[in-house]
Amino acid sequence: MEFVADFVDTAFGTAVDVLPIAVILVVFQVAVLRRRVPNLRRILAGFVAVLLGLTLFLIGLEQALFPIGETMARQLAAPEAAGAAATPTGTTQVDWRDYMLVYAFAAAIGFATTIAEPPLIAVALKAEEASGGAIGSWGLRLAVAVGVAVGVSLGAFRIVTGTPLSWYIIAAYAVVIVQTFGSSRSIVPLAYDSGGVTTSTVTVPVVAALGLGLAANVPGRNPLIDGFGLIAFASVFPIMSVLGYSMATSWLNRVRRARRSSEEAT
Amino acid sequence: MPAGMPAGMKGLIVALSRRLFDAVRDLAPIIVVIAFFQVVVLQQPFPNLGSVVLGLVCVVLGLTLFIQGLETGLFPLGEAIAHAFARKGSVVALLAFGFCLGFGTTIAEPALIAIAAEAADVASQAGALADDDAVREAYAFNLRMVVAVAVGTAIALGVLRILKGWPIHALIIGGYVLVTVMTAFAPDEIVGVAYDSGGVATSTITVPLVTALGVGLAAAINGRNAMVDGFGLIAFACLSPMIFVLGYGMVI
């Protein structure tokens, strides 16, 4: 059975990834903390569920989504699909408008993979709990996913046009810094965190395939130099969208409150 | 917290079926996007429909189990550790734990191993490295160590920030400015690698554990707020590898 072999392989790989964490936890528990962990059996059962769940999740992705997603990313990046067949071969002149379909795919797949990203689900659940429900886990994930969609789409545009990565990233940092000073103190750390958790198990393989496929197919691009960087886009833009979402909701609340108090005054 | 004893069996089943529904909802966008582009845009049939369906069943079950395990295993564990350290009151032990957790989870990270090997190839093609396997391997290994030390330092520093209640934006913005300045001076072939190395520290198991640790610490310490002080460890872990890798590229 190929499936069983896959399962054992993936489970082994996941267990190896977890091993260092387990060793560190046990060493500090035994040597430093020396306190019994409450509900130890329940926690161990939870650990097993996480390992088993992650294994099934990865196998399923490998089996169902990654092959199609990766082939699709490459096919869409090819000039014929992008409608750039009219470009005479041998020229390095690229019209960015020929790749509209690629930007649409980049945005759609960036959004969809982010919604399914397990670390983001974890952070969103924790945020809902820590904020006492003021920040909904679903709202946060939607905001992050919109940010990734815009980021990956813009990253695809950058690869097509061949403009330097650092311009975009540094400009994005500048926007984040300005937003930080206009946002409430309690959302800023969460927004910064949400930038880092988007680029994980589900998003990276498909998005990286898109980047490499584009860099290989667009005339004048080098996969080694231009293929990198989509991940960086996918990490910065969610910070912007989460801060933007929080600024928009607090502005709306202020407008609503102002309207209500002016109604009461009349 | 309710104990998961037989009396809670019915509750467990209800909770699990809710999570199953949530998992289907979380995965629906990917399925719709891929099906749409495959059938409508590229106008191709699905290859091996049977194995795709089997795979999707695995993904849904896996996500359900993962979230269940998160709530019963990783979150409580992170919180328990945070409380134990807060009660013990040894800052040095806590910082050492933070460093080890960051270093240990990063050094073995498969994504990092792949990026380091690729970076060695790029550097060797750019002529920055001798065209020799041993040299490339040493370069890739050093790069991995640099990133792991960076993440360890980041978690330790992030934990110290929670203890002291420092505002996060000063540190993060300072880090961004440093990255921007270093980008101008670092060799070109390291920049893409440095930017991408920021994302590798955030594995699926580390993130919940580290997040629960941060929020738990902020909740256990008087005068700290879970939202203002508890989050931000992941952000540190993403930023510091960029600085360390750019620095490594400038030194070597």
Regarding predicted confidence, which is higher, A143 or B2?
A: A143
Residues of chain A neighbouring B191 (CB-CB closer than 8 A): 165-166
Type of residue numbered A20: P
Q: Which of A193, A200, A228, A230 to mutate to test the interface with B (most CBs of B within 10 A)?
A: A193
Query: What pLDDT, on a 0 to 100 scale, did the predictor assign at position A72?
Result: 82
Across B223-251, average pLDDT? 90
Nearest to B95 by CA among B162, B195, B40, B165: B162
Separation CA A191–CA A188 (nearest Å): 5
User: Shortest CB distance from B80 goes to which of A16, A38, A72?
Assistant: A38
Band (pLDDT 50/70/90 cuts) for residue B235 is: very high
Residues 217-236 of A with CB under 8 A from B: 224-225, 228-229, 231-232, 234-235
The token duo for A95 is: 């019209």
Of A235, A258, A206, whose CA–CA distance to A72 is shortest?
A206
Task: Say whether B55 and A62 touch across the interface (CB within 8 A).
Answer: yes
| pLDDT score at A1 | 61
The pLDDT value recorded for residue B3 is 47
Residue B126: C-alpha distances to residues A224, B131, B144, B190, B242 (Å):
10, 10, 20, 10, 20
In chain B, % of residues over pLDDT 70: 96
Determine the distance in angstroms separating the CA of B8 from the nearest CA of chain A, rounded to an integer. 13
For residue A220, the model assigns a pLDDT of 77
* pLDDT for position B95: 94
In what helix (H) or strand (E) does residue A141 lie, and over which residues does it extend?
helix A137-161
State pLDDT tens for residues B77-95. Answer: 888 888 888 888 888 999 9
Tell me the mean pLDDT in the region B56-64: 92
- CB-nearest partner of B238 from A56, A122, A195: A195
Chain A residues touching B195 at Cβ < 8 A: 165, 169, 228-229, 231-232
Instruction: Report the alpha-carbon distance of residue B207 to residue B225 in Å, rounded.
Output: 20
Q: Does A64 touch chain B (CB under 8 A)?
A: yes
- pLDDT, one tens digit per residue, over B94-135 is 999 999 999 988 887 777 887 788 778 877 777 777 778 888
Q: What's the confidence (pLDDT) of residue A146?
A: 96
Coil, strand, or helix at residue A61?
A: helix
| C-alpha distance from A241 to closest chain B C-alpha (Å) | 16
pLDDT at A85: 45
pLDDT at B236: 93
pLDDT at B7 over 80: no
Residue-level pLDDT at B151: 93
DSSP string, A33-46: I--PPTTHHHHHHH
Asked whether residue B202 carries a pLDDT value surpassing 80, the answer given is no
For A228, the 3-state DSSP assignment is: coil
Q: What is the pTM of this model?
A: 0.86
Q: Which residue has the tokens 């700290």?
A: B224
ipTM metric:
0.85
In the prediction, which pLDDT does A81 show?
Answer: 52
What local confidence, expressed as pLDDT, does residue A43 receive? Answer: 87
Altogether, the residues listed in chain A come to a count of 266
Q: How far is Cα A185 from Cα B67, in angstroms, rounded to an integer?
A: 29
**Interface contact flag, A165 B195, Cβ < 8 Å:** yes
Q: Which residues of B touch A126 (CB under 8 A)?
A: 75, 208, 211-212, 215
pLDDT of the residue at A79: 60
Helix (H) or strand (E) holding B77: helix B75-88
pLDDT beyond 70 at B4: no
Q: Band of the pLDDT at B2, cuts 50, 70, 90?
A: very low
Query: Across the interface, which of B59, B88, B203 has its CB nearest the CB of A64?
Result: B59
- Mean pLDDT per 10-residue interval, chain A, length 266 residues: 78 79 85 79 88 89 82 74 48 69 91 92 92 88 95 91 85 92 90 85 81 80 72 89 90 87 79
Residue B243 binned pLDDT confidence (cut-offs 50, 70, 90): very high
Query: Are residues B195 and A45, on separate chains, in Cβ contact within 8 Å?
Result: no
- Quick check: B199 and A231 CB within 8 A? yes
